[in-house]
């Protein structure tokens, strides 16, 4: 099975504008992060977390294991949101878009490779803490990364990523961790578009 190569990116983080903080220096209430001057609210983040927990709870006997494997789900989901915003900025700068047909085609490839839609969604929930309602965003990221790699070359996304991070001025509420300037990720979280293969590995037959 063909798999696209994982990416390796590092960048320096410039000092962000103090959009998260009120005059007291405490994080602005209700703000999980600020990206490109736009707030990611704690309520929006919690909605994503709740969707994942609900999907995990519907997983029958696997539910307890799935929940136990994601103890820092808020941080994982916020990191995923930040990575998506970086990908969007890189694509916008490069003049690239993901059409609905692109996303549908990408979805069909995943479904074909994983033995059906239910199996694909179950694997994505297990490997990426991604609920069924979040699959389209995952697919959009994969499409854009493929197009970015085609434009710049495999392993050559470092400079576009640096430029995107610089332009976005990412600031994170310390409640959710610290933004890692070197790795371009939320400290302690996962960065699927950097550290994982574009397509999740299939479970062994009979598993």
Condensed to tens digits (0 to 9), the pLDDT of residues 40-90 reads 999 999 999 999 999 999 999 899 999 999 999 999 999 999 999 999 999
Q: Which helix (H) or strand (E) holds 139?
A: helix 135-152
pLDDT tens, residue by residue, 190-207:
443 344 333 444 443 443
pLDDT at 12 over 70: no
Decide: 103 and 182 in contact? Cβ < 8 Å. no
Q: How confident is the model at residue 185 (pLDDT cuts 50, 70, 90)?
A: confident
Decide: 194 and 9 in contact? Cβ < 8 Å. yes
Show Cβ contacts of residue 2 under 8 Å, excluding neighbours closer than 6 positions: none
Decide: 201 and 122 in contact? Cβ < 8 Å. no
Buried b (16+ CB within 10 A) or exposed e, 189-203: bbbbbbeeebbbeee
**Tokens of residue 29, six digits:** 């209430």
pLDDT at 22 over 60: no
In whole angstroms, give the CA distance from residue 128 to residue 80: 9
Q: 202: phi > 0 → left, psi -120 to 50 → alpha, else beta; which? A: beta
DSSP type of residue 30? T
Higher pLDDT, 207 or 35: 35
Q: How many CB atoms lie within 10 A of CB 73?
A: 18
Global pTM value: 0.78
Segment 1-5 mean pLDDT: 38
């Amino acid at each position: 099975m063909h798999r696209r190569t994982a990416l390796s990116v590092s960048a320096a983080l410039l000092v962000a504008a103090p959009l998260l903080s009120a005059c007291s220096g405490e994080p602005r209430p209700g703000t999980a992060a600020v990206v490109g001057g736009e707030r990611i609210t704690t309520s929006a983040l919690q909605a994503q977390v709740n969707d994942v927990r609900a999907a995990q709870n519907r997983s029958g006997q696997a539910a307890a294991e799935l929940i136990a494997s994601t103890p820092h789900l808020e941080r994982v989901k916020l990191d995923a949101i930040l990575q998506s915003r970086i990908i969007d900025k890189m694509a916008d700068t490069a003049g690239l878009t993901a059409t609905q047909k692109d996303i549908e085609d990408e979805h069909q490839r995943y479904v074909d490779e994983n033995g059906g839609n239910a199996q694909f969604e179950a694997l994505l929930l297990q490997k990426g803490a991604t609920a069924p309602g979040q699959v389209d965003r995952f697919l959009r990221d994969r499409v854009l990364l493929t197009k970015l790699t085609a434009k710049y070359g495999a392993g050559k996304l470092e400079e576009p990523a640096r430029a995107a991070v610089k332009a976005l001025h990412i600031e994170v509420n310390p409640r959710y961790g610290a933004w890692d300037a070197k790795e371009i990720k939320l400290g302690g979280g996962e960065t699927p578009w950097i550290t994982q293969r574009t397509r999740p590995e299939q479970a062994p037959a009979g598993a």
